[in-house]
Chain A
Amino acid sequence: MNVSRTRRTFLGAAAAAAISGAAGCGGARGTTWRVFSGHEARTLDALLEWIIPEDDSPGARGAGVSHYIDRQLSTHFREHRQAYRDGLAATDRLAGGDFAGAPRKQQQAALRKLQRDPATRPFFNLLVPHAMQGFYGNPRHGGNRDFASWRMLGVPPLPVRGRSQYDLTAGGGNAKS
């Protein structure tokens, strides 16, 4: 066991520094976020849960809407990164420092301010459509985990749809059955 395993681990660890340095992979181990820090993600999740709350089906958190936003900020929505950083920081400030950890009443008051204050309204107006996209969109983009919203609406994730077995050599494209 242990000798070879320890040696292997040691060699691996020694090589890790060089390789991860070369690959620019110095990030936190096992994080699931591409753009957000852990704290920002927590704030965003709490904020989104106010916009699409959980009832008898998953809300924004359960549907992974924040993952959709995170993924898009790393690709198609790059230009909105700063708006999110500033907006989430403002959200925390309005809730006394930590929106996710604040009591629900305080969160609600902060959300009202966020929505009404001309300085933060653009962020709120940006967030709502992104939340909708992440909740109702195709799961391939990172949100709507396990088709949560489609199932809520009664839309099957994959409809049952067959294909006509027609025969063009038998006088046209009429289906056999």
Chain B
Amino acid sequence: MSGRWKLWMAPAAVLAVGLASVPAADLYYQSSWGTGCARCHEIGIDYDRWRHATHRNINCVECHAGSLQKDLRRVEAHMAGTVPDQVHLGPQDIFDMLPRCRKCHEQEFAEWASGAHSTTYARIFTDSDRNRKQLLMDDCFRCHGMHFEGGIKDLVEPVNTVGPWRLKDPSYANLPAIPCMACHSIHREGAPLVKPRERVSAQEEIVRPSVGLFDRRTRMNVSAAILPLPAIYEGARPVRISSDQRQALCYQCHAPLATMQAGSGDDRTPLGIHEGLSCLACHEQHGEATRQSCADCHPRLSNCGIDVEKMDTTFRNPKSAHNIHTAKCLDCHPKGVPKKAAAHESSILH
């Protein structure tokens, strides 16, 4: 072999080994079902949680097959000992996971995609009607774009009420501002769903263990089971709210101001005829659809003999003066509630 060939052989061999290591690594991590991943101690806790999570039967690489560039950066951090205090998924990892969620949860994904919560970064942060009235602020990220890493100035410019507003990184425009992981923790401890031998309603699970709000400060999903249900008031009167723990998740973003007055801030607590109902009594979980909600509880006709779905409320017409969340008997009976209806209202309220 000539000297020139020998000169080329060494780098060629290194290159070949390097290239071969990529599919080999992929194969290794696929076949080891997490134990290979967990050799890196910094993700040991996450691995351990996954082993006890509802998604324990889904291989790591099903959700975490990242790009080579990202993987190499992780290896570099591991080797250099610069692993962050808290290992977590970056925004791109979150967006990359959505099609993987969809693969198994097609119906839920379709409902989410057709509902209000699949809104995009562009719609939320460059809405000129809203931005003219209110200043954008970091606190927006509490409920929208919670996985974005940076402050509002890193996402939108200008941060004022004049505009025109644009996203600094246009690739965010059509990305979801409230992705699946805003409300679901994939590694949360819990058992996969199983068919019970005997159906006993009182023993059924109320909320999947994975449900919990992603909190930017802790960079983790806080389980809906430990989120607080607020005390809400109408003036000085305590409002009865449903004890449905699932709606604690809703209250995190659809929350009243510090005065805890119903209807303040983004609060949607039902008052009047619907007081005491849970958000989920009317809103479907992923798409928030409410079309079926009246028929779930009402006989077709109200006490007055009018079809409840045809009454003048925001259920029928969003521009109606009678908000379905706060409609009261007096809205339709301004001269006083007829005796029968008054007795009915009294029984509802007390």
Contacts and interface: CB of A to CB of B under 8 A. Distances in A.
B86 interface: yes
Contacts of A74: 42, 81, 83
B39 interface: yes
Contact of B35 (A29, A138, A146): A29
Interface in B37-55: 38-42, 44-45, 47-48, 51
A169 B133 contact: yes
Contacts of A163: 139, 255, 257, 265-266
Contacts of A169: 132-133, 161
Contacts of B219: 140
B342 interface: no
A32 B44 contact: yes
A141 to B, nearest CB: 6
Interface in A132-147: 138-142, 146-147
A61 interface: no
Given A24-B79, A30-B47, A177 B263 contact: yes
Contact of B24 (A15, A76, A177): A15
B314 interface: no
Contacts of B78: 23-25
B44 A158 contact: no
B228 A160 contact: yes
B290 to A, nearest CB: 22
Nearest to A16: B28
B126 interface: no
Interface in B300-316: none
Interface in A34-76: 34, 67, 71-72, 74-76
B3 interface: no
B35 A160 contact: no
Contact of A161 (B25, B28, B134, B258): B258
Interface stretch (B100-108, B165-173, B210-218): B210-218
Interface in A57-106: 67, 71-72, 74-76
A148 to B, nearest CB: 10
A150 to B, nearest CB: 9
B135 interface: yes
How many A residues touch the partner, as a band?
35 or more
A159 interface: yes
A102 B267 CA distance: 55
A167 B134 contact: yes
B41 A162 contact: no
A158 B39 contact: no
Interface in B47-95: 47-48, 51, 75, 78-79, 81, 83-86
- Best-surrounded residue of A14, A27, A72, A177 (most CB of chain B within 10 A): A177
A168 B161 contact: yes
A2 interface: no
Contact of A12 (B27, B81, B228): B27
Interface string B131-175: 011110001000000000000000000000100000000000000
Nearest to A148: B226
Contacts of A122: none
A157 B39 contact: no
Given A11-B27, A15-B27, A166-B134, A158 B265 contact: no
A118 interface: no
A74 B47 CA distance: 18
Given A12-B27, A138-B218, A158-B213, A29 B134 contact: no
Given A74-B42, A75-B83, A30 B35 contact: yes
Nearest to B72: A23
A29 B37 CA distance: 9
Per CB-CB distance, the 8 closest pairs between chain A and chain B, nearest first, are A162-B265, A15-B24, A12-B31, A162-B255, A32-B44, A156-B228, A25-B39, A160-B230
Interface of B: 17, 21, 24-25, 27-28, 30-32, 34-36, 38-42, 44-45, 47-48, 51, 75, 78-79, 81, 83-86, 132-135, 139, 161, 213, 215, 217-220, 222-223, 226-228, 230, 251-252, 255-258, 261, 263-267
10 contacts: A8-B31, A9-B31, A12-B36, A34-B42, A71-B86, A141-B85, A160-B255, A162-B255, A162-B265, A168-B133
Given A25-B40, A147-B222, A168-B135, 10 more contacts: A23-B40, A25-B39, A31-B41, A32-B44, A67-B45, A75-B84, A139-B218, A156-B227, A165-B134, A169-B161
